[in-house]
Structures are given as C-alpha cells and as structure tokens.
Amino acid sequence: MTALRDSLAWLGRDRLGLAGAVLLVVLLLVGGVGPWLPIGDGSTIGAGPRLGAPDARFWMGTDDLGRDYLPRVVQGLGATFLLSSVAVLATALVGTFLGMAAATLGGAVDAVVARLADVLFAFPSLLFGLLAAAVMGPGDAAAMVVIATATLPLFVRVIRAVTLAVAGREFVLAARVAGASTWRILAVHILPNVLGAAIVQLTYALSVGMLIESGLSFLGLGVQPPQASLGSLLRLGSVYLNVSPSLVLIPGAALALAITAVNLLGDAVRDALEPLRGRALT
C-alpha cells in the first residue's frame, strides 16, 4: 500500500502526465458520448454546401457530400478509440498470460512462445493487414486482428522478461519449496508484480493500435463507409487537400492529440512505478 501511495503521489506531481490524462479523458468522453451530443447528424447528405468552410453553423465545415464534419470527426474518434482499445485489451490479457507461462514453465513452452513472438514481431503489420482483408474482408474485424497481431509480441516479450526477474526472487522460491502449484505461483506471487509493466505496455500498445487502425482505414482496409474513423476521414479528405485542407488537418490533429495523450500518460505511469528511472518533474 505504501508503494501504491508513493506511485500515486509521484503521478499527481507529474504535470505532463496529468495533462495527458486530462486530455485523454476529454477525448474518450467526446468519442464515447458523441452520438448523444447535440452536434447534429453526420450522416445527412446535403446538410450544407459541399466542401464548406467552418462557420457558425458547421463548426468544422462540411465534407464532399455536404455532411456536417463535426459529428463525423467525433464518430471517427470514437471508432478509432473503440477498435484499438478492444483489440489491445484482449491482446494484453493473452500476452500477459503467455509471457508469464513461458517464463515460469520454461523448456519447450518458453521456446515455442518466444519463437512465435519473434515470428509475429518480424511480420509487417501492413502486409498482414492485406492478408487479413483478403481472407476476412475489409472492416472492423480485420483491423482488430491486425492490431492484436502487431501488439501481441510486444506484450509477450516485456512480460516474459519481467517474469524471469520476478521468478528468481526469494518469495517465489519459498512458495515453490512450500509446495505451491504453478497456477498459484502465477496468480498470487507473479501476476501482482508484473501488472505495473503490463499497464505501461498497455498504454504504449494503445498508441500503436491507433496508428495501425488509422493506417488500415486510410488504405480502405479498416472501417468502411458510411461509418467513419480518423483514418478513413484522412483518406477521404486527402483527395480535396488543396481545396479544403481542414478535412485533413482536423482528423489529423485529433489523432495526434490522442496519441500524444496516451504516450504522456504512459510515461507518467512508468515514472510513477519506477521513479528513480523516470524523468525529472517539471
């Protein structure tokens, strides 16, 4: 409990981390409750002039079909967060279990898991995205599979390394001598000591997931029309970059802010868990 209080106190003094956390919460709230906000309907074609500039009625302008761009950006923000979060959370659970099991069981299990992680890590995410889209068809499911495949080896490697360090500690050896089962050692003694590393890796994987999802949607392999994500909005807006640059600048800025917020929060959590290795507070 003392260590937890010290970590929370350090996190509370990190201004960059607090700024990232506040920004991330705001973006999550906007993206999550966007459909219920009084910002108009982004699916109505011809609601305004085509490629209209931002004004008092359409705060972010209109797209090539005359649709209000503000609700579409909010919808895209929510879709990018949702797909990335679900895929990364599922990957975190699987990767944490595989990393702990590989380091604890050792032998053939460790070799198989480590080699599988190496293969997935060496496989380009874009190429795998093309393969997944060809097999499953473009859409949300293909994007989530690619995100999970790209972030899984990162989790396995990090958790495996941390587990190897924890497994040699005295309290784990004492549990083995006392006759504790492997599952009990994993759940009671190792899991609480690798959760910090898993949470830090989760934040970084979320930013990677958002980049992958946006990249796939930009190529037309992710979220499909009429639904929107930040990547698909960038793809559609790039056609009219010279005429209406706001169609690219607005979703691009939203994506940059989201990734920056996640990375700032991840750095703050890492520094709170390991303050001696963290950056100096400002």
Mean pLDDT (10-residue bins), the chain, 282 residues:
50 74 88 83 86 86 90 92 92 90 85 86 77 82 88 89 84 81 82 85 90 89 86 91 90 93 84 55 44
pLDDT value of residue 13: 67
Amino acid letter at 167?
A: A
Contact 234, 214 (CB under 8 A): yes
pTM (two decimals)? 0.84
In the Cβ-directed half-sphere of 232, how many Cα atoms lie within 13 Å? 25
* pLDDT at 258 (0 to 100): 93
Nearest to 94 by CA among 151, 28, 161, 170: 151
Q: What are the structural domains, with CATH classification, of the chain? A: 68-275 (1.10.3720.10)
| The pLDDT of residue 12 | 58
* Helix residue spans in the chain (DSSP H): 2-13, 15-33, 69-105, 107-122, 125-136, 140-167, 170-177, 182-184, 191-218, 230-238, 246-273
pLDDT for 4 equals 46
Residue of 245, 217, 248 whose CA lies nearest to 231: 217
Residues 6 or more apart from 197 whose CB is under 8 A from it? 158, 159, 162, 273
Distance CA 100, CA 234 (A): 39
Phi, psi of 68 (to 5 degrees): -60, 125
Angle between helices 246-273 and 191-218 (to 10 degrees): 170
pLDDT at 94: 92
